[in-house]
Structure 1
């Protein structure tokens, strides 16, 4: 079964969940607001995708960081420290599937990998 991580009120997450529901794919949704990501989970994901792919640098949470905080994100350790304190900065949605990790919503990628 697919594991979907994100925030319920995120528009991209809503699109992804609608797509999964429309295609009758079963999933478990993990809301970062209720179930924050753990260091263990971040490290598990980083075995499949690079740490810099997990960091959403286009979102509001990233923009709220000071320039010094942004500049401090240089490797997986520093990224994980920031992501653990700001789960909403993790690229959303993140889907764990048998074919790997999918980040964001891309209908073509979903068709080919889900």
Structure 2
């Protein structure tokens, strides 16, 4: 299982704590970046919701930057990713919601 998040994100820390005991590869999107293939898979899986439009990063972007395609936005500003994103054997999950927890078998 691969976990895309930020080490400074409270939701990501909460999710990682709940996943303790599972084999998790943690990818910090700010420090480690997101590969082209992973970005493409996230955009394909989540579409517009891949971007957190409530973030301070989003609000700080110009209208021109906000109008860029999703892949370019995430490449330039990986912290725009709505977190966490989890890749479990090719199944992509986003956010730390009840549905995500149920899919992963955690409480």
Measured against the shorter chain, the TM-score band is 0.7 to 0.9
Structure 2 unpaired stretches of 5+: none
1:11-39 CA distances to partner (integer Å, 9 max, x unpaired)? 11111111111xx2221101112211122
Asked if 1 retains the 8 angstrom alpha-carbon contact of 2:43 and 2:70, the reply is no
Mapped partners of 1:8, 1:16: distance in 2: 11
Structure 1 unpaired stretches of 5+: none
Are 1:89 and 2:85 matched, yes or no? no
Mapped partners of 1:50, 1:104: distance in 2: 11
- Equivalent positions of 1:34-49 (< 5 A) are 34-47=31-44, 49=45
Mapped partners of 1:81, 1:19: distance in 2: 32
Identify the residue that residue 52 of structure 2 maps to in structure 1. 56
Normalised by the length of structure 2, the TM-score is 0.85
Deviation of 1:82 (Å): 1.2
Q: 1:25 to 1:110 in 2, by over 3 A?
A: farther
